[in-house]
Structure 1
Amino acid sequence: MSPRPNSQWPGLRGRRSECETLSGLIQAARSGRSAVLAVRGEPGIGKTALLEYLAGTASGSRILRVSGVESQMELAFAGLQQLCDPLLGGLERLPTPQADALGTAFGLRTGTPPDRFLIGLAALSLLAEGAREQPLLCLVDDAQWLDQASALVLAFVARRLAAESVVLVIAARTSVDQQRWAGLPQLTVRGLPDTDAETLLESAMTGPLDDRVRHRILAEAHGNPLALLELPRWLSATELTFGPHTAQPRTLLSRMEEGFRRQLEPLPEQSRRLLLTAAADPLGDVGLLWRAAERAGIGVEAAGPAEKAGLIELRETVRFRHPLVRSVAYRSAAAPERQAAHRALAEVTNADLDPDRRAWHRAHAATGPDEGVAAELEHSAGRALAHGGLAAAAAFLERAAMLTPDAGDRAERQLNAAQAMLHGGTFDAAVNLLAVAEHGPLSALQRARIDVLRAQIGFASLRGNEALPLLLVAARRLEPLDAELALDSYVDALTAALFAGRLASGPGPVEVAHAARNALTSAAHPRRGDVLLRGVAMLFADGYPVAAPLLRRATQAFDSDDLSLEEGVRFMWLAAVMASDLWDERAWDRLTRRHLKIVRAAGALSALPLALNTRVFVDLFAGELAAASALVEEINAVTEAAESKLTPYAAIGLAAFRGHEEQAMPLITASRHDVVARGEGIGVSLTNWAQALLYNGLGRYPEACAAGREAAAFPAEIGVSNWGLVELIEAAVRAGDRPTATAAFEQVSEMTQASGTAWALGVAARSEAQLHEGTKAEDLYRVAIDRLGRTDVRTELARARLLYGEWLRREGRRVEAREQLRAAHGAFTAMGMDAFAERTRRELAATGETVRKRTVDTRQDLTAQELHIARLATQGLTNPEIGAELFISPRTVEWHMRKVFAKLGVTARKHLREALEATNAV
């Protein structure tokens, strides 16, 4: 807000450092790199002025702008569409899936609900296309008022910009929405230095100012430029002489709002109504504003006084002097005036082209309950869900409930809104809405639904053991009211029981399983969720061999494209865990992919962190540590956006597979304390399994044995306990504790024989081989390598080769040992399993072979992202295809490929595979 001084410095007064930072962003874009900055500060501190400065210095750049507006926060993708609108002519140049996703999100095309991350990739690609001819500057002001869907996509884009010549600057208020932009480069704008503040205050004065008043204004403004410029205008001559009245608002923000309110008061009524109508419309469409004004009986002459007062500009778009002017113009109006403004806007908004905005204006125009408007909002909620806007759907449903005349219908819409909030990850809002709903007249079924939703919210936000007894009670209450919802709630209870594990307080998985089996007897037409529930209940009640065939059928039923959002959120994690427990890595792979696709498509933030964490372990066992690392970064970003406290399981698993003790152990130790405090027993097993894996790689077998024993101590913690048994067998044999290894193998053998998959039988053979000597051991190692060679779990195969090579060396068969150890070392090195690679290198050295140090060093020259891109390129994928796989733009892929070529010393893709093989990176 501060004017430029007449000095050698051409920037804003007192903002030299900030302006230099912004100028550096433009320089980066001109050199072919992208840049991102989150500008934070209190209202009036100068964020908008800094954006204007940046726009003014960005010669040769194309500029896109959007400002968040409170009234459009509930309209999904409204902000993103406004930002991207000038580029939509290039939509057809995007890959068809991306063009369809973005077109569907903006309501320009019809189709299935788009994947939220595909929308993000499409937006990234569209911006990259827009920057092909000249740098692109994207300015987002008042980001705290963006709709949630737009904010999430922009955060996604911000974290993936690299080499597109795009500058993205996001301005938001301090202390508002801190998490969403966390991790981005930050610029916090503070008050002006005293000297600059005093100079700016003098520039705003038209006459002398008493020293006492000057000091008081300076003290109250705290260097805030808007306050320094405006306070002298707002104060009367008496106040300028004697100081403001003590009755004035105390906070600086309220004082600035009061000042703008004073500027509005002298305006003619028609001018105030015009300002109010402009404030109620987030689009800034001048034509729409004048059509609404005409409908409301406001003449064109009304603009003159408002423009003369400097409060608004009506040119190509509607621009308020400051966002606070818009806010004050809207909030200071009486309710009937606001309703009239929205009514006029609704009447001139095209019902075919923009039905949701029309419905939203009609809702704000309503003077009391109106079923017609409520039904229209409910239709808008359905469209929002189809566009991936859970937050928008929840807002439409909540507003629809407020306008619903019938108490029963009102409660139903409130519960549906709370459910959308739950899936969208806004847990506090959902809890508050449930508290409102339960004070109204409710049916027994609706009261039971409230119990279920409240327990689901508790479980989704904390994953502790408190939700388990609540879910079990709710499921029992639902049995006579809604059999299907009761069975679904038993699935939720079993999922909670699996998480609670050994730390369950009260009912455990066995009790839940028996209750679920009793409820299943009344299911006349079992759904696939019911089949899964029966299989899991059978697992706990009757044991693994009996349950395995039914669980296999259940997981196959969920390997389908016709799953709903509700099925995906409620069942897919459990189905994927069962596939892992069945040692079926390909079903595990497919189900985790489907789970991610469903929750991403709907923007279901409550389920996304868990879906991502589960998917990481598929990549880890497959040896795709680079892909797992990329997902861990994504998890960090998503967890910041969601109100979730999920333990960082994926990061723990990645550090353990890499074998980096200095990274793994702090995570393991901190998480172990956290899961115990929350009552999350599965976390105890997982952290101990990770520690056992880590120490087996490092060759510290007694420590691995102790951790493995804890990991396998509670078989009800499905999946992880199996992994713990496998680590325990290897560690116990090496630590000289054969009875422990034998007992663990007996448990593994029972499961793997019932499973019968190549993964199961290969691991069983490898485990048993360690318990034998001579020909028996050798035959089993060969069987293990043969079986595991048919699977996608490359880490298991490499470990079988390592164990076989170690056994051959101990038998004195060094030449044969080298063959197995070389293969294992190459695999571990390529995958990035550094501890196991070093263990293998030592074993090779014991055979008399020297492993070249350059092998590891060369691989490490490539970053994880570069290595992943190079591997995809050797598979024949094009730059756009690689970008779609990794959620980055084709130009960023091209930028990484240039670095890969330079590091590997090649000039064409056809030489990539040979270069990677030479460094054991493929």
Structure 2
Amino acid sequence: MPMVGRDAELKALAALLDGPTEQSGILIEGEPGIGKSALVEAAIAAAAVAGLRVLRATGLEAEQNLPYAGLHRLVYPLRRGFDALPARQAEALTTALGMSDTSGDPSPYLVGLAALTVLADAAADRPLLVVADDVHWLDPASADALAFVARRIEAEPLVLLCTLRDGGAAPLCDAGLTTMRLDGLSDDEATALLDHAAADLPAPVRRRVRAEARGNPLALLELRTAAAELTEPTAALPLTERLERAFTARAATLPAGSRSALLVAAINDSDSLAETLTATGILLDQPVEPEILEPAAAARLIDIGSGTVTFRHPLIRSALASTATADDRRRAHRALAEVLGALPNRRVWHRAAGTIGPDDKLAAELETTAEQARHRAGAVAALERAAALSASPELRAQRLLRAAELAVDSGRRDAVERLVGLARTLALTPRQAATADWLLSGFDDGMRESPSRIAELAATATAVAADGYHDAALRILWGAAMRCFWIEPGPDTRRTLLAVADALPIAADDPRMVAIQAYVAPFERGDRVLRHLRALVSITGRDPEVDRFLGSASLQVGAFDLAADFSTAAAPGLRAAGRLGLLPRALTVQAWSLARLGDLAAAAPVATEAAAFAQETGQPFMHGLAIAVQAEIAALRGDFPQAVTLTAEAERIGLAAGARPVLATVQLTRGLIALGEGRFDDAFADLNRLHDPRDPAHAPFLRGYFLAEQAEAAVRAGQSEAIQTLLRELTPAAALTPSPALHIGMRYAQAVFATEAVDERFTAALAADLRRWPVERGRLHLAYGEWLRRQRRVVESRTHLRTARETFDALGCTAWSERARVELRGAGESSPDRSLDARDRLTPHELSIAQLAAQGLTNREIGQRLYLSHRTVSTHLHRIFPKLGISARGDLAALLPTLGGTNS
């Protein structure tokens, strides 16, 4: 059968297989029967001619609740390569595929990384085409793993080819694959196909088939055999229903026994011929032989292989299942359940599908299956079905809410809303009602909710605590505190939250309690929070999530040095465990803090990674904050065009829901750009927006941490009175908290605006402990040197200006280092041009790889850290070496001597 009307698509597939290509693969989208499978078969044939190895998996509707079923079919042929995997990857992959006795839920990201490594290694021996048909029916665990692989294909001789039905959703839609959209054939193309395939049909029948098919190739071919039996469908009948009618019309002509066997095969979650025949025998109450399926094979509905029965098109399976009566489906499920006595996890699903009404024993078995599930999606489905079988409303609600909680972990907001909605139709206990509230607020940190919601959560936490559920109350309070970071609820609500927290019998140094107080009252509780943080920072071996809490708390109270320490400590553990939902949060805090401290070389790759992981894990506002940090770094480096581009992108994300920290960081960056370009009035106006409660960029906890930039702009813009007013406003807060960032900024502002005892103020500011704050120290030297030169104390000024220049050169803060050079020239001393160092020649992603290589890590170890294949790492290093003028990785340590410990 020739392929009609697909010349452009065949050419694109040939280009994909020829390589090298910038594409990681192609996602073919279109309605059922439009020709996706035919194009895949053509690509597989072309791959065989080109010498590529082909690995293939097909999503099956019946296997959607079997975690990693699709991935198993894909990588099992490569199982000999599993032994070469790093230990944690091998354990995760073999556990996911049921090939080890290890219990527990493997990290989906470690499974994805292991799959990437195995595929990349296989592709190194022979170029590889990975085919995933009907990804809308892949089990979610396999779909996530394939999307992970797709996003990271760079230099490997490996491409993906996937197909997706119209209206289907899959993680692969956002995995960077090139979309190939298939539309229906034109009238001329449809006529040509019918001329070849149905030349014997009468002209009126051919016209009818062509009109009904509407350019769908499968419909053209299938309806030609069914046109005589089908009645004229209505104009509004959807295409998929027309095709199902075509398929079921052919099945309706089969003997009754064959139809029963076909239904069993359609609802079975396996292609086992033996299972289908045994269950059919139970259904018909008599032994059956494979011959019972021969009429279906002759009708081209199925293929019978060696021990398998497969449908010629997935639509045939769904058509048969959907058109059967509910009673027939239940009887078939019960028959299969009898066959699967040795496979309890599959058996319980078929028993559940074959049961009407409550069955507490079966519901308990499903709940056990959910707890043993290796992937959250399977557990969610099992718990939802268990809830439906529960006789007790309280148990039903409990199982629905547990399913919703697991859906939160999976990032499935639609499922959470649906499951919580179902639970709320029942009479919930106070604890269950509180859990429902907490679950619904778990996404986006409540960004899309009204600020009044924070007070509601405080009341809920109080009620839950009164019932004795203190840990649950603390979790609810943490959710409310997080909202105080993104949105401003007002002082009354903040006081209410503090009162609830204070009433809980939770230790004051509990990391969650420390973080709650830091988020809710960064100034009022700053002293207490900082004492706990300084006591905890020297303790090692904590859960990385605890370090993430403490890093966030440090950021709130302006201890950016501690924030960098805690978040840097958290990142490796989160990365190693594959907890990529939490990792971008830790990385963003790390990058934000390092940028404020002036460690741009370390901050840049961390911010890039944070932005990528936040986007990949569906955290839009954390993605926006990471981009805003990237913009700040670009501004500090003097790359103002790039900074402008990134601020616009971050602002677009932040304005969508009023994400104040994102917008505040955007305004800081705009102030830095204006300062660097000498637009001091603009700089002051940009930074002043942070202090206006009516402005969306107003972030109360941040407004006191950018005082040095504000004062610098105010000096040159003639805004002495405005800055003095601001300092008076912040003086009460400074009396409450020893926040390093706040006090460093106030000392700087007081020095540059002093009219008497100026030397003493600058000397006192420089005498403070600024060992971890080099950019602030450099800024003080620059301002002091400028003041001394204006006082005609030129010789004294040179020492400070020279120190500022050297500091900013080392940090890469180009705009300030150029200002120091200008001032030095005015003081009669020339400065050599700043030479580009190794860090300036690399992209942040390349710098991240180079830093790890400089530490002596192998390509595989770097790949494990950054969730890349080791071959991609190798390709990047070969691009890095010429940029740096070196030929071996051993030279990296000399070029990047100060960066060895900064990358996590």
TM-score, with structure 1 as normaliser: 0.84
Say if 2:149 is the partner of 1:169. no
**Partners of 2:550 and 2:164 in 1: CA distance:** 39
Aligned pair partner of 1:823 in 803, 806, 809:
806
**Partners of 2:221 and 2:898 in 1: CA distance:** 66
Instruction: Report the CA distance shift for 1:350/1:900 in structure 2 as closer, same or farther (over 3 A).
Output: farther
Aligned pair partner of 2:686 in 707, 728, 753:
707
Where does residue 261 of structure 2 map in the other structure?
Answer: 274
- Give, in angstroms, the shift of residue 57 of structure 1: 1.1
Moved more, 866-875 or 36-45: 866-875
Where does residue 148 of structure 1 map in the other structure?
Answer: 140
1:508 is paired with a residue whose SS is helix
**Partners of 2:59 and 2:778 in 1: CA distance:** 53
Say if 2:62 is the partner of 1:71. yes
1:721 is paired with a residue whose SS is coil
Where does residue 76 of structure 2 map in the other structure?
Answer: 85
**Partners of 2:377 and 2:801 in 1: CA distance:** 58
Where does residue 53 of structure 1 map in the other structure?
Answer: 42
Post-superposition CA distance 1:27-76 (Å, at most 9, x none): 21xx5987322221121111111111111111222211112223333333
Where does residue 377 of structure 1 map in the other structure?
Answer: 366
Instruction: Report the CA distance shift for 1:208/1:233 in structure 2 as closer, same or farther (over 3 A).
Output: closer
Where does residue 590 of structure 1 map in the other structure?
Answer: 566
Aligned pair partner of 1:393 in 371, 379, 398:
379
Aligned pair partner of 1:222 in 214, 217, 220:
214
**Partners of 1:363 and 1:708 in 2: CA distance:** 61
Say if 2:116 is the partner of 1:124. yes
Kindly indicate whether the alpha-carbon contact (under 8 Å) linking 2:515 and 2:552 is maintained by their aligned counterparts in 1. Answer: no
Instruction: Report the CA distance shift for 1:318/1:619 in structure 2 as closer, same or farther (over 3 A).
Output: farther
Post-superposition CA distance 1:292-317 (Å, at most 9, x none): 55665542112312221111223255
TM-score, with structure 2 as normaliser: 0.85
Aligned pair partner of 1:194 in 183, 187, 193:
187
- Give, in angstroms, the shift of residue 631 of structure 1: 2.5
Moved more, 182-191 or 359-368: 359-368
- Give, in angstroms, the shift of residue 668 of structure 1: 4.6
Say if 2:464 is the partner of 1:488. no
- Give, in angstroms, the shift of residue 18 of structure 1: 0.9
Where does residue 342 of structure 1 map in the other structure?
Answer: 333
Kindly indicate whether the alpha-carbon contact (under 8 Å) linking 2:705 and 2:745 is maintained by their aligned counterparts in 1. Answer: no
Post-superposition CA distance 1:849-886 (Å, at most 9, x none): 57658738x86654332233223222212111211222
Aligned pair partner of 2:883 in 885, 903, 908:
903
Aligned pair partner of 2:405 in 398, 415, 419:
419
Instruction: Report the CA distance shift for 1:805/1:628 in structure 2 as closer, same or farther (over 3 A).
Output: farther
Kindly indicate whether the alpha-carbon contact (under 8 Å) linking 2:434 and 2:460 is maintained by their aligned counterparts in 1. Answer: yes
- Give, in angstroms, the shift of residue 654 of structure 1: 0.9
Post-superposition CA distance 1:397-443 (Å, at most 9, x none): 11111111222111111111122223322222222222222222333
What is the aligned residue count?
875
Q: What are the equivalent positions in structure 2 for 1:222-371 lying under 5 Å apart?
A: 222-236=214-228, 245-247=232-234, 250-286=237-273, 289=276, 297-315=287-305, 318-349=309-340, 356-371=345-360
Post-superposition CA distance 1:319-367 (Å, at most 9, x none): 321110121122222333333443444455475xx65444333322333
Where does residue 474 of structure 1 map in the other structure?
Answer: 460
Aligned pair partner of 1:855 in 807, 830, 836:
836
1:58 is paired with a residue whose SS is helix
**Partners of 1:615 and 1:350 in 2: CA distance:** 52
- Give, in angstroms, the shift of residue 559 of structure 1: 7.5
- Give, in angstroms, the shift of residue 458 of structure 1: 7.7
2:122 counterpart letter in structure 1:
G
- Give, in angstroms, the shift of residue 227 of structure 1: 1.3
Aligned pair partner of 2:125 in 87, 108, 133:
133
2:461 counterpart letter in structure 1:
A
1:171 is paired with a residue whose SS is strand
- How large is the Cα RMSD of the aligned pairs? 4.1
1:855 is paired with a residue whose SS is coil
Kindly indicate whether the alpha-carbon contact (under 8 Å) linking 2:779 and 2:804 is maintained by their aligned counterparts in 1. Answer: no
**Partners of 1:102 and 1:841 in 2: CA distance:** 56
Instruction: Report the CA distance shift for 1:596/1:69 in structure 2 as closer, same or farther (over 3 A).
Output: farther
Kindly indicate whether the alpha-carbon contact (under 8 Å) linking 1:47 and 1:171 is maintained by their aligned counterparts in 2. Answer: yes
Q: What are the equivalent positions in structure 2 for 1:421-500 lying under 5 Å apart?
A: 421-456=407-442, 459-460=445-446, 462=448, 465=451, 467-484=453-470, 485-500=472-487
Where does residue 651 of structure 1 map in the other structure?
Answer: 627
Instruction: Report the CA distance shift for 1:288/1:321 in structure 2 as closer, same or farther (over 3 A).
Output: same
Post-superposition CA distance 1:480-514 (Å, at most 9, x none): 3344123432332222233221xx37953223223
Kindly indicate whether the alpha-carbon contact (under 8 Å) linking 1:33 and 1:166 is maintained by their aligned counterparts in 2. Answer: no
1:87 counterpart letter in structure 2:
L
- Give, in angstroms, the shift of residue 684 of structure 1: 4.5
Post-superposition CA distance 1:761-802 (Å, at most 9, x none): 776766665456875466457546xx444x3x6765665676
- Give, in angstroms, the shift of residue 444 of structure 1: 3.5
Aligned pair partner of 2:498 in 508, 513, 535:
513
- Give, in angstroms, the shift of residue 260 of structure 1: 0.9
1:76 is paired with a residue whose SS is coil
**Partners of 1:686 and 1:175 in 2: CA distance:** 38
2:592 counterpart letter in structure 1:
F
Post-superposition CA distance 1:744-771 (Å, at most 9, x none): 5678888789877987877676666545
Q: What are the equivalent positions in structure 2 for 1:668-683 lying under 5 Å apart?
A: 668=647, 678=657, 680-683=659-662
Q: Please list every run of 5 or more consecutive structure 2 residues that lacks an aligned counterpart in the other structure.
A: none
**Partners of 2:820 and 2:340 in 1: CA distance:** 70
Instruction: Report the CA distance shift for 1:394/1:18 in structure 2 as closer, same or farther (over 3 A).
Output: same
- Give, in angstroms, the shift of residue 888 of structure 1: 0.9
Kindly indicate whether the alpha-carbon contact (under 8 Å) linking 1:692 and 1:707 is maintained by their aligned counterparts in 2. Answer: yes
2:350 is paired with a residue whose SS is helix
Kindly indicate whether the alpha-carbon contact (under 8 Å) linking 1:381 and 1:397 is maintained by their aligned counterparts in 2. Answer: yes
Percent identity between the aligned chains?
A: 31
Kindly indicate whether the alpha-carbon contact (under 8 Å) linking 2:128 and 2:157 is maintained by their aligned counterparts in 1. Answer: yes
Instruction: Report the CA distance shift for 1:476/1:862 in structure 2 as closer, same or farther (over 3 A).
Output: closer
2:160 is paired with a residue whose SS is strand
1:866 counterpart letter in structure 2:
E
**Partners of 1:92 and 1:224 in 2: CA distance:** 46
Instruction: Report the CA distance shift for 1:835/1:650 in structure 2 as closer, same or farther (over 3 A).
Output: farther
Moved more, 623-632 or 505-514: 505-514
**Partners of 1:350 and 1:841 in 2: CA distance:** 81
1:882 counterpart letter in structure 2:
I
1:652 counterpart letter in structure 2:
A
2:395 counterpart letter in structure 1:
D
**Partners of 1:822 and 1:728 in 2: CA distance:** 21
1:81 counterpart letter in structure 2:
H
**Partners of 1:591 and 1:128 in 2: CA distance:** 31
**Partners of 2:537 and 2:509 in 1: CA distance:** 13
Instruction: Report the CA distance shift for 1:32/1:229 in structure 2 as closer, same or farther (over 3 A).
Output: closer
Moved more, 77-86 or 748-757: 748-757
Where does residue 209 of structure 1 map in the other structure?
Answer: 202
2:121 is paired with a residue whose SS is helix
1:319 is paired with a residue whose SS is strand
Post-superposition CA distance 1:157-201 (Å, at most 9, x none): 111111221111221123432775234322112222433221112
- Give, in angstroms, the shift of residue 469 of structure 1: 3.4
Where does residue 28 of structure 2 map in the other structure?
Answer: 39
